[in-house]
Every structure is written in structure tokens, then in C-alpha cells.
Structure 1
Amino acid sequence: MFFSRNKHPDRQGMTDGIKDTIDTFVKEWGALKREQREFVADGSEPALKLLTDADAAYFVRAMEDEAARVEAEISTQISDMKRQQLADIAQKDAQISAINREIEQAQAQIAAQDAEIIRRGNARADLLATVAKITPSLDTSKLAKDADIRREVVRSRFGDAAVNGRSEAYIDERFESLAAQATADPFARVMSDGLASPLGAKDAAEKAWRDMVHDMNHAHRKH
């Protein structure tokens, strides 16, 4: 739709019916700018004829007002799009943060599980090493629990009466006592058992030989 500015100087005011025509023209132009309709270029749309200064002035004001409305709507749409984009970005950031937290929690859980496995493995190795010192012949291959191993060690040293009907705390105490003795310094253990000798094995044998010879040589003096 086009307009024609063929002024008629002998006419005053607005042409009859032109206001509605201008309003329709402006409305159609606004729809075109808003992409609510497509431009028709086949010349089928009638031209808008502005015949007086009043027609032209009204047309200009109507176009300016419509252009301002279109611009405001476009600005609002752009602002809405930006706000939506920012909201989408914030939502995705929140989702990424949640995923990262889940990953960190899973990694921490795996690390804790690995640490617990290592701790249990080290504890079992230490227990078996202690058992080997207390009762080297005890077969622990079929015992899955540490408590069962300690119970069998105490049983092997003190018999069934020492473990039957006894609490786990009591078994642990007896086992720790055996472990302390088994892992103590050999010299200190011998001294604590009252088996210490001031002489080594060779010196003790020589002393025993000398004592026997001395007794034989002086046996007649005892009668």
C-alpha cells in the first residue's frame, strides 16, 4: 500500500473519510513491521491519497505514533528475550553446579571407600602378622572376620573354656595380651618369664663341664 501526496489547494481540513483510510494504512504498516503480515508487491493494494495539509499532518502524526509503538514493542521483546536468555543461562549454570556437586560427592564417597578398604587391608595384614607370631601353625584361611581369627587364637592357646560363652570384649583382651607378649622385645620377654641366663649357651655348657669336673675332683672331700 502506497500513499500519494497530490495536494489540492482549494480544499481545507481533512478529506472526508480519509481518517479511517489513514488509520487502516498505518495499522497495516505496523503489522508489516511487526512481521504479522507479508508485503504484497503486485500493486493490488490501493494507494493512499493525501489531498490536504490536514490529511498529511494527520498521516505524519499517526505514522510517528505507530512507529513509536512498534519500536517500544520491539525493545520490550528484545528485553524479554534477554531476560529469558539470562534465565536460561542461570538455570543451566544451576544444573551444571548440581552435576558438579554430585560428581564431587561421588568422588569423595569413592575416595572414602578406597581409604576404608586400604585401612581394613592393612589391619588384616597386621592381624595376620601378629597371629603368625602367636600361633604360627594356626590356619586362618577359612576365617573371614577378624573377631573369629582372634577367638581361634585364644582357643588355640587356652582351650575351649577360654572362649566358649565369652564376650567379644573378653576375647579381644586375651588376644591383646598374647599379642603384647608375642611382639615384645625377645630379651625383655625372656626376662619377664624368668628364663634369663647370665651366660650364653656355650658359656653355660662350659660352666656345667667345669662344675662336673670340680665335683668329681673334690668328691672325696665331702666324706
Structure 2
Amino acid sequence: MFFNRSKPQNEPAPRTGLTDGIEDKIATFVREWGALKRSKRTYTPDGTEPVLKLLTDADTALFVKAMEDETAAIEVEINAEIAAIKRSTLAAIAQKDAEIAAINRDIEATKARIAAQDDEIDRRASSLVSLVQTAEKIDPMFKIDSLDTARAVNENEIRKEIVRRKFGAIAVDGKSEAYIDERFESLAARVNVDPFARVVADGLAPTSADGGKAAADKAYADYVRSLQDAHKGTQH
């Protein structure tokens, strides 16, 4: 539908006020125009559409007002659509950020768990090595290879084996782990005493004609040797 403000020749001067039926014609025109704009289609006239004639200033004013209102309504709808798209986009971004943050937390938690496991493995390995070294001091004939794999990595089994070797089966059969641990620790306390400190603790009491000097010298030599050998690993 087209509109035309031109005044046809030989027509009488326009009336003031609205032309009869113009309100409906303008409403139809504006409605169809609005639908076309909302659909984002391009209008192609075919020449059969009736022409909307605006014959008075009142007709024109009504038409302009109707078009302005329809344009404003379309702008409101467009702004609402844009706002909805922005909200949807921001929500999608926030969701992705949350998912990425969750993945990063899982990664960090996994790293921490692996690090803790590595630390625990190192701690157990160090503890086992120290225990084996002490066991071999208590019983130089003991070799870790003499135990099967399961027992060789079990500290309780190693302590039990040393106590059995030193005190016999009666000291371990039917006994609690706490009892066996106590017996083992008593043995460990004896072999781990610093030989030089032991002599000093005894007050370097004379035990020979040289006043105990030889014993003190030997204890000191043993102490120095123990320091020199401290870095050596267990030999099998």
C-alpha cells in the first residue's frame, strides 16, 4: 500500500480535519509496514496495492503519529531482543567460565593429590631404607633379600623378623605389634648409640693401665668412621 499527498488536479480544496475512513486505512498501512519491518523482508510492489491518500493536514499528522508510534514500538522490541541476546550470551559465557574454573580446580586437586602421593611414597621409602639399615646393624646376618617381596616392603614384618632372630619365635608368636615394636626399638636403641658419646657418658672410667685412653681413642675412631659411612647405602 502506498500513500500519496499530491493533490489531484480539478479536485476541490481539501477539507479540514480527517478524511472519512482514513483512520482504518492508516492503521492498516502502518500494521502492514510494521509486519514487513519485523520480518526483515524487502517489499516488492506489484502495482495492485491501493494507494493511501493523505488529503488533509490532519490525515498527514495522524499518519506521522502512527508511523512514529509503530517505529518506537519496533525499536523497543529490537532493544528487548538485543538485551535478551546479550543476557543469553553473558549467561553462556558465565557457564563456560564456571566449567573452565571447575576443570582447573579438578586439575589443581589432581596435582595436589599426586604430589601428596609422591611425598608419601618418598616418606615410606625413606622410612623403609632407614629401618633396613637399623635391622642390619642389629643383625649383620640379616639381608632384606631373605624376605619375600610382600614382607620385604612391610615394616612390621621386618621388625618381627629381627625380633624373632634375636629372641626366638617365642618373642613374636601371638604377640601384638605394639609388643614387637617395643622389643625392636630396644634393640635399635642399643645399636644406634654413638660409641664416642657412650664412653663420654660413662665418664671415661679407667679400665686399663693407660687410664682408659685407648678405649677413648677407639670410641672416637669408631665415631668418626660412623660419620664417614653414614652416607653409604645398604649393601646387599
The interval holding the TM-score normalised by the smaller chain is: 0.7 to 0.9
Q: Which residue of 1 aligns with 2:49?
A: 45
Give the 5 Å matches for 1:1-223.
1-7=1-7, 9-35=13-39, 37-141=41-145, 142=148, 143=151, 144-187=153-196, 198=212, 200=214
Deviates more, 1:31-40 or 1:60-69: 31-40
Counterpart contact for 1:5–1:51, Cα < 8 Å: yes
1:175–1:44 Cα change, 3 Å: farther
1:188: how far off?
A: 5.3
1:46: how far off?
A: 3.1
1:41: how far off?
A: 4.2
The 2-side partners of 1:199 and 1:52 are apart by 136
1:187: how far off?
A: 4.5
1:146: how far off?
A: 0.6
The 2-side partners of 1:139 and 1:26 are apart by 102
Unaligned stretches of 5+ in structure 1? 202-223
1:154: how far off?
A: 0.4
1:58–1:106 Cα change, 3 Å: same
**RMSD in angstroms over aligned alpha carbons?**
2.5
Q: Which residue of 2 aligns with 1:209?
A: none
1:152–1:189 Cα change, 3 Å: farther
What TM-score do you get using the length of structure 1 for normalisation?
Answer: 0.79
Bigger radius of gyration among the two: 1
Read off the aligned partner of 1:167 and give its amino acid letter: S
What TM-score do you get using the length of structure 2 for normalisation?
Answer: 0.75
Q: Which residue of 1 aligns with 2:232?
A: none
The 2-side partners of 1:95 and 1:36 are apart by 37
Counterpart contact for 1:31–1:37, Cα < 8 Å: no
Count of residues in Structure 1 that have an aligned counterpart in Structure 2: 199
Unaligned stretches of 5+ in structure 2? 216-236
3-state SS of the aligned residue for 1:136? Answer: coil
Read off the aligned partner of 1:184 and give its amino acid letter: V
3-state SS of the aligned residue for 1:6? Answer: coil
The 1-side partners of 2:95 and 2:48 are apart by 50
Show CA shifts across 1:162-198 (max 9, x none).
1111110111111111111112223556898x9x763
The 1-side partners of 2:3 and 2:14 are apart by 20
